[in-house]
Amino acid sequence: MTRKILILTGAGISAESGLGTFRDVDGLWTKYDLDEVATPEGFARNPALVHEFYNARRKNCREAAPNAAHAALARLEREFDGAVRIVTQNVDDLHERAGSKAVWHMHGTLSKAVCAACTHRWDAPAVMVPADPCPACGAAATRPDVVWFGEFPFFMDEIHAALEVCDLFVSIGTSGNVYPAAGFVEAAAGAGAETLELNLEPSFNATAFGERRQGPASEIVPAWVDEVLAEG
Ligand code: OAD
């Protein structure tokens, strides 16, 4: 019987909330150069541009609302007689605003700022600029508390431990292009978990999943949650 569910989410779960995905036809990486806005090197070259990119995303996020898929996962956590944990690649806070509590943001979060000089963290203001001083040490080394390409994602020890013990691993709205998240399905399956992909279209690593369901997250996620809760 399934008692520990580990859920990986990506940009696709927030797409119907109006937040852009990265690699779809109209995705963010078709409009912005990933190397310029999502790498430490890009930030060193042009911090103002990188802040502008994340300021815009923070604004989009503030104006967006969780959709039925976020709400269904929060309901699953509340009502399931077992453990439900979300690992999200998303830097938005829509899982939390829908009511989910057990959420690891492996790629960080737009809602926090971090000082690159002293690692102090604080609530990010709506608009950040390179001259912003760190409230703790005063250095003008403020950055969004997000993980860029070439950096190590957060919570990796906890995530690997959770992959080892989950009975069911579910991946929602992610293209399976970016590691280490793209490798989680193999890790979970290798440790004996069932695996399920819920995505608009088959992901890059769809064949690694035991079961795949296709459709918009706002429809297929609530339907799956209803099934799990009905099974008890
Ligand atoms: P992608 O843009 O790579 O993939 C989004 C996935 O969601 C695609 O497979 C879409 O088919 C699917 N999708 C789109 N709309 C959907 C909907 N309404 N319902 C269900 N699925 C839908 O985004 P991620 O996989 O999240 O990292 O990208 C992973 C990482 O790459 C991001 O965290 C970010 C990015 O570069 C960093 O910035 C470090």
Domain at 32, CATH number: 3.30.1600.10
134 CA distance to ligand 1 middle (Å): 32
Model confidence pTM above 0.95 = yes
* 51: annotated active-site residue: no
CA distance 187 to 79: 27
Atom of ligand 1 nearest to the CA of 89: 33
* Residue 91: per-residue pLDDT: 98
**pLDDT, mean of residues 14-21:** 96
30-36, Cβ contacts within 8 angstroms, sequence gap of 24 or more = 34/149, 35/149
Range in 17-26, 39-48, 101-110, 178-187 the model is least confident about: 17-26
* Residue 232: per-residue pLDDT: 78
Q: Are 85 and 162 in contact (CB under 8 A)?
A: yes
**Strand pairing report for 108-115 and 142-146:** antiparallel
213 CA distance to ligand 1 middle (Å): 16
CA distance 216 to 38: 27
* pLDDT band at residue 179 using 50, 70 and 90 as cut-offs: very high
Question: Which residues sit with their C-beta closer than 6 Å to ligand 1?
Answer: 10-12, 15-16, 21-24, 27, 38, 89, 107, 147-149, 173-175, 177-178, 199-201, 203, 216-217
Pocket test residue of 178, 196, 218, 224 for ligand 1, highest count of atoms within 8 A of CB: 178
- Domain housing 132: 20-63+111-146
* Residue 25: per-residue pLDDT: 87
Residues 126 and 184 in one domain: no
pLDDT tens for 78-117 read 999 999 999 999 999 999 999 999 999 999 999 999 999 9
Residues 190 and 98 in one domain: yes
Please name the amino acid found at residue 40.
Answer: P
Domain count, the chain: 2
